[in-house]
Amino acid sequence: MESGGIEHEQILTIVNNLADAVFSIDTAGIIRLYNAAGLNLLDTNASVEGKKLNTVFKLEDEDGKRVDLFKMIKPVHTVTINDSLRMRSGEDIMRLELTYAPIRSSFSTVDPSGTSQGYILIARDITRIKSLEEERDEFISVVSHELRTPVTVAEGTISNAQLMLDRNVADRSALEKSLNEAHEQVVYLAKMVNDLSTLSRAERGVSSETEIIDVEQLAHDLYGEYSPEATKAGLHFNLQITPKVGSVEVSRLYLHELLQNFITNAIKYTREGHVTLAVTRRDNKVHFSVIDTGIGISKSDQAKVFDKFYRSEDYRTRETSGTGLGLYVTRKLAKKMGATIELKSRLNHGSIFSFSLPIAS
C-alpha cells in the first residue's frame, strides 16, 4: 500500500475513535465522510454518505426557526464555534455545539489557489451541560433573592437596637423585640445555609459512602432526638417498628437527613394530635413513613412542594419559618439513594411522606 493510502487509513482510524461527531462536507453541501460518533449523535445506523447536510441536520435557532446549516457554514474563513442551535427528534430537543471550518490545501493539484476543498464539521451534544448551566444560574438568582430579605431585616432591627442603646431608650420591651426579630432572621439564615450545605454535599457525592445501617437502632435514635421537640409542641411522637425489620446499605448522612426533614416538618405543621415514625418490612424492602395529623397539603400544592424555595400560600404555612429548601433537598437525597418519595395528604387531615429501601443482603 502506498504511503498516502496508509496515511488515509490512519486518519480514518483516528476520526472514528473520536468521541465527538465529525463530518466532512464537500463544496455542494454533501456529506462525504463521517465517524461512528456521528451516527450516534444522529441516532441512526444508516449511512449518511452522499446525503445533503441540511437533510441530515434539521436545526432550529433558539426561537424555533429553521436554520440552513450549510448556508451558515459556507461563508466562514476560520474555525467557528456555535452553541445556539438545536435539533429536534420527536418531543426531544438536543442542544448542539458545532465547530466548523473550511478545508484548504495550498498544495492541491486540483485547486492550487488554496480555496476551500470542502468543510469540516464537529458536533457535540451539550443538552445536559446547558441545562445544568441554566439551573445553576437560576439557583444563584433565587438564593440571592431569598437571602436579601432576612439579611435586610436583621440588619435593620440590629441597627434599630443600636440606636436605642445610643439614645439610652428606657423601653426595654422595644429593645427585646428588635433583638428577638434579628435573632429569628439569623436562625432562618442558619437553616438556609445548612440546607444549602446538605444539598451541595449530595450533589458532589460527599458523604455518599454506603454502610450497613441497623434500621431499628436508627429509628430509636431519631425518636430520642426529636421526642423532646414534639413534647414541647404539645404532640405525641409515636414510634412503630415491625419485629426483625433488618438493615439497609446506604449513606447514613443521606438517610438521617431525609428522615430528620420529614419529622421536623411534621412537628412544625401539626397543631395537635401526633407524629408517627413507622418502619415496616415489605417484600424484601424496608418501608419508612412519617405520618402526622397536621394541616395537610392541598392537591395543587402537592405537585409543587418538592420544588426549590416553594412555600405554600396557606397562611398556616406562612406563619412558620421555613427556607423552602427542605423537601427539595429530601428529593435529591432520595434520588441519590435510589428511592422515590411518595406523598399522601389531605388538607386539614394530615400527611404521610414515605419511601422504601432494599434490605441489605
pLDDT tens digit string along 87-96? 987 678 899 9
Residue 112 has pLDDT above 50, yes or no: no
How much is the average pLDDT of 215-233? 94
Q: Which CATH number fits domain 128-206: 3.40.50.300, 1.10.287.130, 3.30.70.890, 3.40.50.720?
A: 1.10.287.130
Regarding predicted confidence, which is higher, 202 or 39?
A: 39
Confidence class for position 310, pLDDT limits 50, 70, 90: low
How much is the average pLDDT of 212-233? 94
Per-residue pLDDT, 164:
82
Exposure of 340 in the CB half-sphere (CA atoms within 13 A): 1
Residue 136 has pLDDT above 60, yes or no: yes
d(CA 344, CA 289): 11
Regarding predicted confidence, which is higher, 45 or 187?
A: 45
Across 6-10, 294-298, 332-336, least confident range: 6-10
Q: Which CATH architecture has domain 3-125?
A: 2-Layer Sandwich (3.30)
Residue 316 has pLDDT above 50, yes or no: no
How far, CA to CA in Å, does 243 sit from each of 157, 215, 277, 278, 291? Answer: 53, 11, 15, 12, 19
Residue 47 has pLDDT above 60, yes or no: yes
Per-residue pLDDT, 91:
72
Per-residue pLDDT, 56:
92
Per-residue pLDDT, 317:
47
Q: Do the Cβ atoms of 33 and 15 come closer than 8 Å?
A: yes
Sheet with 351-358: list strands edge to edge: 236-241, 274-282, 285-292, 351-358, 342-345
Residue 290 has pLDDT above 90, yes or no: yes
Report DSSP state, residue 295.
Answer: S
Regarding predicted confidence, which is higher, 320 or 333?
A: 333
Per-residue pLDDT, 114:
53
Would you list the DSSP string of 114-141? --EEEEEEEEEE-HHHHHHHHHHHHHHH
CB atoms within 10 A of CB 28: 10
Helix (H, G, I), strand (E, B) or coil at 329: helix
d(CA 196, CA 210): 22
d(CA 321, CA 190): 12
Q: Which CATH architecture has domain 208-361?
A: 2-Layer Sandwich (3.30)
d(CA 86, CA 179): 54
Instruction: Spell out the domain ranges in the chain.
Output: 3-125, 128-206, 208-361
Contacts of 17 (CB under 8 A, 6+ apart): none
Mean pLDDT of the chain: 84
Per-residue pLDDT, 140:
73
CB atoms within 10 A of CB 100: 21
d(CA 292, CA 230): 11
Using left for φ > 0, alpha for ψ between -120 and 50, and beta otherwise, residue 168 falls in left
Residue 330 has pLDDT above 60, yes or no: yes
Write down the number of H helices and E strands in the chain.
11, 14
The share of the chain scoring above pLDDT 70, in percent, equals 86
Q: Which of 219, 275, 211, 227 is nearest to 245 (CA)?
A: 219
Per-residue pLDDT, 345:
93
Per-residue pLDDT, 26:
93
